[in-house]
Amino acid sequence: MPVASAPAGLAQSNEEPKSPGPLYGWAMLWTLLGIFAGGMALNLTPCVYPLIPITVSYFGGQAARGGQGQGKLVVHGLCYLMGLAVTNSVLGVVASLTGGLMGAMLQNPIVLMVVAVVLISFATSLFGLWEMRLPSGLTQAAAKSYTGYFGSLFMGLTLGVVAAPCIGPFVLGLLTWVASMASPWLGFLIFFTLSLGLGLPLFLLAMFSGQLERLPRSGGWMNWVRSFMGWVLVAMAVHFIRPVLPGHWGTVLLALVALAAGLHLGWIDKNQAGFRAFPWLKGGVGIACLVLAAFLITSWVMQGPGVTWKPYTDETLQAARSSKRPVIIDFYATWCTPCRELEEVTFHDAAVVKQAESDFVMVKVDVTKGGNPLHERLLREYEVKGVPTIVFLDSNGKERQDLRLVDYLPPDQFLGRMAQVKKDGG
């Protein structure tokens, strides 16, 4: 993430290959699966669900006209998916291209609070407190019907407009999150995945249109789905304001959101459905949210003491060289997601804490706010291009460039780097 206030225009370091943004590895996989599931859930909202039989009937009619049966139906379905993917993916890329500006703005606590308020306001729309409406002319234009493959493509392109009252708040909230990551390819991937989740059920139903009568009837249960998506936006709002919350209050607030969502979705919400599995679904989601809340609270309560950091001074480094102790310098910012993950996970790991206390001098340079002459000198001296950046100095005070860290690293791998700089220094 960029530190706009640094004179050199601090940005993510390119010294090591890494995935842009806060998503990488298993975190990316689980996030994309969650977004795919969210896209599928959007099909169950009151604005999209009634379109399912209309869309499936349209596909069937188009295929019947050409007399080519199932093969042509597949092509129409793919055109529909392509139109849906193009619309959403373009939105994701455009949003991410504003990320440099968004990343700089996200240093400001006021901006973070405004973003959270916007997400909460979108969530209240999904809770049914107000309705998002587009101009009638735009809605009528999007509802026009065309024949042929272009007609299927057009339906996919305009689904977002027709269904905007239900899916608009969720999509806008997701756009805000994507913009904060400043990665066009990641913006494309996230919204392409959302499009697959939204369009794939319609595609499959079109292929097996004979099963359409087995779908549950519209009812109050679709409002329950809207409420579920609203709680997702509330959780995203908490994610945005975590950097301005002291200590572990961000984790505590997330746990409270999970608790409230579980109670509301599982038991307080009285919407019902005509199919027997719905009460089990409500109870399952409620219990899952309560388990998540319990896990967050337990992880916070049971978390041991973290690394004890010293502020940077030339005297501290001189004393470390005199005592032949290696030094770890952590360039950190509160708005930086990998920085916080390092602090909350790696630097609270018992083995890392033990090694740090016994064999290392641990120094933290907090560049959350610019304008500090000492910090600006250190950024130039160590050629720091972004945060997080962790510098390893051996017992002679020389940096091990090959060990420099510019992203999150799990405790076991971080211990390996600590052992390496300690061994070579000795």
Per residue in 148-157, pLDDT (tens digit) is: 666 767 666 6
Instruction: Please determine, for residue 391, whether its predicted confidence score (pLDDT) is greater than 50.
Output: yes
Q: How many CB atoms lie within 10 A of CB 362?
A: 18
Cα distances (angstroms) measured from residue 373 to each of 203, 330, 334, 376, 388: 59, 17, 19, 5, 19
**Mean per-residue pLDDT of the chain:** 78
Residue 23 binned pLDDT confidence (cut-offs 50, 70, 90): low
Q: List the structure tokens of 424.
A: 């070579």
Q: List the structure tokens of 425.
A: 């220094």
Contact 407, 27 (CB under 8 A): no
Identity of the highest mean pLDDT range in 46-50, 108-112, 225-229, 312-316: 312-316
Q: What is the mean pLDDT of residues 60-87?
A: 70
Query: Where does 242-276 have alpha helices with state H?
Result: 249-263
Cα distances (angstroms) measured from residue 410 to each of 349, 351, 352, 401: 9, 12, 10, 19
Predicted confidence at residue 333, as pLDDT, reads 84
Predicted confidence at residue 13, as pLDDT, reads 37
Which residue would you say has higher pLDDT here, 68 or 48?
A: 48
The gap from C-alpha 338 to its chain's centroid, in whole angstroms, comes to 13
pTM of the predicted model as reported, rounded to 2 decimal places: 0.67
Q: What is the Cα–Cα distance from 338 to 16, expressed in whole angstroms?
A: 15
Q: What is the Cα–Cα distance from 104 to 107, expressed in whole angstroms?
A: 6
The pair phi, psi for residue 331, each rounded to 5°, is -85, 120
Identity of the highest mean pLDDT range in 82-91, 109-118, 213-222, 303-312: 303-312
Residues tagged active-site: 336, 339
Predicted confidence at residue 87, as pLDDT, reads 76
Instruction: Please determine, for residue 136, whether its predicted confidence score (pLDDT) is greater than 60.
Output: no
Instruction: Please determine, for residue 426, whether its predicted confidence score (pLDDT) is greater than 60.
Output: no
Helix axes of 164-181 and 184-207: crossing angle, nearest 10 degrees? 150
